[in-house]
Structure 1
Amino acid sequence: LKAAYLAGALALSGALFATDRMALDTARSVNVGKYLILMLGLWYCLLLGGINADVAGVVAAVAMPAVAPAPQGSTAPPEHPGEPVRIIDHLVHNWSPWTTLVIMPLFALANTAVPLDASLISGLISQPVALGIAAGLVLGKPIGITLFSLAGIKANVAAWPEKMNVKHLVTVGLLGGIGFTMSLFLITLSLA
């Protein structure tokens, strides 16, 4: 552990909380650009300080005031009709596509601890075990989750959530394959 970087991380954490407290006290929106710079600085200091940089995300999430108003002109819908748009609604609305389509897939791929090169991938295509694992994750989990969920609904063990249809259920099934990757990531962190 490196004390100078950890002191910097502590100072930046304090600045995050102070920024958010000022936004709450003045009923103004959080300056997202300033918040992002502080958060990236915190991430950098934790990384070089010897603490898992994922902690920066946790600190940033805890520091964000959920009830502060969104910036003027935000296109985000409010959480409940008739309520004002809050900063958290604004951030979720704007970051959700990036998180879903770019960040999470890259995070999952980077944390599988599997080296990716052309010879490895071409070798895996000819291996029955690798093909079986891929089929299980890509086909087996989505089909299993979807069919067993539908069976539960048909047997009156479960009910459809409001505004959900089969397309949503299949999407949830497709996300089921991510569990394997996250397990590898958590094991890697636990044994590190």
Structure 2
Amino acid sequence: MSDRRLPAPISEFARFLRTETVGGMVLLAATAVALVWANSPWSPAYQAMRDAVVGPAALHLDLTLAQWATDGVLALFFFVVGLELKRELVIGELSTRSQALLPVVAAFGGMVVPALLALLVGRGAPGMEQAWAIPVATDIAFALAVLALAGTALPVTARIFLLALAVVDDLGAIVVIAVLFSVGLNLVALAAAALLALLYWYLQRRRVTTAWLYVPIALATWVAVHEAGVHATLAGVLLGVLTRVGSDPGEPDSPAIRLEHRLQPWSAGFCVPLFALFAAGVPVGADALRSVVAEPVAQAVAVGLLVGKVVGIFGASYLMVSLTPASRPAGLSWRDVLAVSMLGGVGFTVSLLMAELSLDGPDVDTAKASVLLSSAVAALVAAAVLAVRSRAHRAGGTTR
């Protein structure tokens, strides 16, 4: 990190990547490349690339390229998520109880209802003891991109509500990953990760700004968390929430703001698309589509994303406003809230990650195909409803 004020933006290309619309389009392009490549005559090359092993075996880091994308590259995405979460909790939309209450409850409903529906639909199916977690997540970049494209006339409170909801949703997904997918804990490595995180926090408190200290500490923390048996991406979240978000007198931007400004284009333009390139390459032929329709786990994922998300988010929001002093976001009708709730079904990045963590063998590809199809349907339906609501707002529609 540097104590100099960052250029805003760092470059035109960085600013281009920083917008939700472009980030979602890059993600979509990477997914399309993966799907076409994996279902083309060159699919063996795709599999060979994904399964190629690189890294030092002495450090237990001899991982496939797909694992590096999942455990390593995606850690930067989760670091940015941690920064966003810390900012929202300290100075943003989640910083006061009145502001946080509705999106927190909506996010909670948007996780619990899909999980329960998934367990109900997929009950008894192999792998459902962990696969219920697949539909609990919402993809921030993709959902915001759809809102930016289709909901142009909606009040800005729609974006704020969706962003706050998605940040809380990501926090819930992080907790699920930490609890559900941490096995065989190495307590020595876990203690080392805790000490490194404590050192990072201390340096933040002491206002140290040199990257020559922070980068090695971040890398060492990632290695320690990976060695501890906890999913390595949690190292990114941990360091993100430990980053100082308040500005000192005379300090143009806090470290969290500066880092988010610098790293968000890398996260949106490189890390998440690279993960999608390795994760989204699943068969989509007739047999694969039949499996998506016929397999209980795939059915559970689809119902969780397409039904559970909108019912959970909208239902929890409606009950919260009806039963407590909480109010709808300013300028939004219940129809607008319903349209925004539909975006919750765009699972994508974290749902694909959950599928990889919770299932093995052919079931992984079937669950991923279900995530991709369900997310696409959710995005298209939400876009259509948002477009209708945008026209209503342009025409001076009511807020009923």
TM-score by length of 1: 0.50
Greater RCO, CA 8 A, separation 6+: 2
TM-score by length of 2: 0.29
